[in-house]
Amino acid sequence: MHLHRYEKIWLTVGVLTLIAFIITLGVNAFAMGAQPPSNTQVMDPTKVSQTPPFDQPALKQIGQNNYVANMTAFVFSYAPNRMEVPVGSTVTFNVTSKDVVHGFEIPGTNVNMMIIPGLVNSATHTFTKPGDYLILCNEYCGTGHQLMAAHLIVK
Ligand code: CUA
């Protein structure tokens, strides 16, 4: 079969582009460790109530303006259900599910994650404006789904 000269050139460019792409992807994903940031901590979903820190879900202060909220999601609420932090606080939410897949969204922020049984998902946000921030479930999880919410009071 005879290939036209331009065909050969573009074929070569195509193959080289593909190789460059695969190398870039491989280097980023494996050598540089650029993996999706979530789902790093694994746990037994049937033992959430016995596994620290989720046996005692709570908001904890870890620095002057830094807080960690270790939370559980379950049909149809979150624990803790109501938290309070001063304006300017940075809060890291570590959340796991005790039963089914739930959502964890704080409208007006970039916190929006899926809470999967057996995994701990995390998100961090700095609350610079006072208000009553609603934490809501955006994954359909059963008959009480629309009631599933918690509050973070920033003042
Ligand atoms: Cu939990 Cu919807």
Q: How do residues 49-105 score in pLDDT, each as one tens digit?
A: 999 999 999 999 999 999 999 999 999 999 999 999 999 999 999 999 999 999 999
Q: What separation in Å is there between the alpha carbon of 117 and the centre of ligand 1?
A: 12
Rounded Cα–Cα distance for residues 135 and 122 (Å) = 14
Evaluate: CB of 125 within 6 angstroms of ligand 1: no
Q: How high is the pLDDT of residue 82? A: 98
Determine whether 93 is an active site residue: no
Determine whether 127 is an active site residue: no
Are 18 and 67 within one domain?
no
Residue 18 domain boundaries: 1-35
Q: What separation in Å is there between the alpha carbon of 100 and the centre of ligand 1?
A: 8
Are 26 and 49 within one domain?
no
Are 134 and 102 within one domain?
yes
Are 23 and 49 within one domain?
no
DSSP states along 72-137: EEETTEEES-EEEE-TTEEEEEEEEESSS-EEEE-TTSS-EEEE-TTEEEEEEEEE-S-EEEEEE-
Higher-confidence residue of 89 and 18: namely 89
What backbone torsions phi and psi does residue 115 show, to the nearest 5 degrees? -105, 110
Return the closest-CA partner of residue 81 out of 135, 24, 124: 135
Q: How high is the pLDDT of residue 34? A: 61
